[in-house]
Amino acid sequence: MHIHILGICGTFMGGLALLARELGYTVSGSDANVYPPMSTQLQAAGICLMEGYEPAHLQPAPDLVVIGNALSRGNTAVEYVLDQGLPYTSGPQWLAENVLQSRWVLAVAGTHGKTTTASMLAWLLEANDLKPGFLIGGVPDNFGVSARLGETPFFVVEADEYDTAFFDKRSKFVHYRPRTLVLNNLEFDHADIFPDLEAIRIQFHHLLRTVPGNGLVVCNSGDPELENVLQRGCWTPVEWFGTDPDRDWSARPGREDTEFEVNFQRTPQGTVHWTLMGEHNRANALAAIAAARHAGVPAALSCAALANFAGIKRRMEVRGEVDGVTVYDDFAHHPTAIATTLQGLRQRVGNAPIMAVLEPRSNTMRMGVHQNQLAAALQAADRVLLYRPEGIVWDMAAIVDELGDRAVQFASVDDIIDTVVHQAGAGTHVLIMSNGGFENIHARLLEALHARQPMHV
């Protein structure tokens, strides 16, 4: 069977392609933006990638076209599919029908932390010989791929609230029907499809309605929006995690920021020693430990396994270091995630200078929905370099004014690279934040740093 995927280089659709290939299907795909790490993953799996959305990519006709949610009516490939009467479906629906049937689905939902928590959870199951399948919106370094079928009933999925497809406006996650559900947090995002926070609350409650009575909901006790959702009706046992020691799961920080004690109902379960930092990562770990315990992994074994959790590509990933300048790649694109990422880096590097480079690429960010929160989110950086791509209609200069001399906006990636090369001395940490390829800025910056004359700082 030949499946052609439209929008194949998205993190979700790329993972779907890997699963279909593993099932033995012939897989090809088209996308307007082909960039690593997804493009390299797909090419390594022998999947044919085509640039653009040409009808010729669908000739001869595949047996099924899987259409990503980034595509809408008016797209040339979509119109060709409809005009020719080709069979088509959405990614989440294909996943539900071809992979998740009869599986024990462990879904991780929330505005932030989905990729990290899902990666941790998959690793905890793997480290304890449960050989799970997974589909994650990133590439966990412990696995090297974003998706696989696995060898047991357990399947971990990153459960996104974004809409399913142009013909199915429900959130993706309502298709997954998890037995174990993690709810990390809930904030307003995706302003291109949700008119307000209440619309997102409704979708989260739809997800909650799909969890069976003999399942488990693992919920962040520090998020009032999640409590609001559960108060609308919950038919499943709930275990709460957070900083409150009276909740089911809590963490007590150790002497170093890279260690903490895990407690379940005030009883110590074990101590985690790992490379990650910050309260947000401790919360992610608690959620993953609780979910893994539901699947049969004792908390003590999960605590031990987290010592070998290797992280995720594009989540505070060090892309290189040249002459004492360290360049990071991070997916942060919401003010909360931006602030959390910068605070985590600040904890790690102390008083060393941080240059934050931000591309406002997500639909919500391009609409300016979060513009009033951005300056505060960037406070932990010593220098802020804001990229202003074409199509931004809101006033980025106001953020520069609020941040003062530390901030500058740019219309060119080349100019950003030149500025970093001339200003970054030894010991500087350059944090690049974008949910896209950002014109390959990371590799280009490292190349420019290699080429520059040694600085005398």
Domain locations along the chain = 2-90, 102-308, 317-451
**Residue 456: band (very low, low, confident or very high) from pLDDT cuts 50, 70, 90:** very low
Q: What confidence category does residue 22 fall into, taking pLDDT thresholds of 50, 70 and 90?
A: very high
What contacts 226, CB < 8 A, 6 or more positions away? 183, 185, 186, 204, 219, 220
What is the spatial distance between Cα 211 and Cα 22, in angstroms, rounded to a whole number?
28
Tell me: the pLDDT tens digits for 148-163? Answer: 999 999 999 999 999 9
Please, what is the average pLDDT of the chain?
Answer: 90
Per-residue confidence band for 368, with pLDDT thresholds at 50, 70 and 90:
low
Amino acid 455: pLDDT: 54
Strand partners, 275: none
Which candidate, 262, 272, 366, 278, places its Cα nearest to that of 315? 278
pLDDT beyond 60 at 200: yes
Q: What is the pTM of this model?
A: 0.80
pLDDT tens track for 260-288? 999 999 999 999 999 887 788 899 999 99
DSSP structure string for 108-130: EESSSSHHHHHHHHHHHHHHTT-
Give the model's confidence band at 420: pLDDT under 50 very low, under 70 low, under 90 confident, else very high: very high
Three-state secondary-structure class, residue 295? coil
The DSSP code for 303 is H
Q: Tell the CATH superfamily of the 2-90 domain.
A: NAD(P)-binding Rossmann-like Domain (3.40.50.720)
pLDDT of residue 357: 92
Same topology, domains 2-90 and 317-451? Answer is: no
Give Cβ neighbours of residue 145 (< 8 Å, ≥ 6 apart): 18, 41, 139
How many whole angstroms separate alpha carbon 88 and alpha carbon 408?
46
Token couple for 101: 């049937």
- 50, burial (CB in 10 Å: exposed 0-12, middle 13-18, buried 19+): middle
pLDDT for residue 370 is more than 70: no
| Structural contact between residues 331 and 311, judged by C-beta atoms closer than 8 angstroms | no
* 317-451: CATH class: alpha beta
> How many Cβ atoms from other residues are within 10 Å of residue 318's Cβ?
11
Terminus-to-terminus CA distance in the chain, angstroms? 61
pLDDT class for 363, splitting at 50, 70, 90? low
pLDDT score at 367: 61
Rounded mean pLDDT of 186-190? Answer: 79
Residue 103 pLDDT more than 90? Answer: yes
Q: Does residue 308 have a pLDDT over 60?
A: yes
**With 60 as the cut, is the pLDDT of residue 457 above it?**
no
pLDDT for res 269? 97
3-class DSSP state of 323? coil
User: Residue 272: its pLDDT value, please?
Assistant: 94
Band (366; pLDDT cuts 50, 70, 90): low
CA 117 vs CA 95, 215, 256, 369: distances in Å: 20, 19, 22, 26
CA distances from 61 to 16, 28, 76, 91, 218 (A): 20, 12, 15, 18, 44
- Which two tokens mark 134? 């997974």
Strands (E), 163-297: 163-165, 168-171, 180-183, 216-220, 238-242, 249-253, 259-264, 267-273
Of the segments 33-37, 109-113, 181-185, 276-280, which one has the largest average pLDDT value? 181-185
| The pair of three-digit structure tokens given for residue 423, joined into one six-digit string | 């200003």
CB 178 within 8 A of CB 130: no
- Average pLDDT value for residue range 355-374: 73
Topology of domain 102-308, CATH = UDP-N-acetylmuramoyl-L-alanine:D-glutamate ligase (3.40.1190)
pLDDT category of residue 404 using cuts at 50, 70 and 90: confident
Q: What is the mean pLDDT of residues 365-385?
A: 77
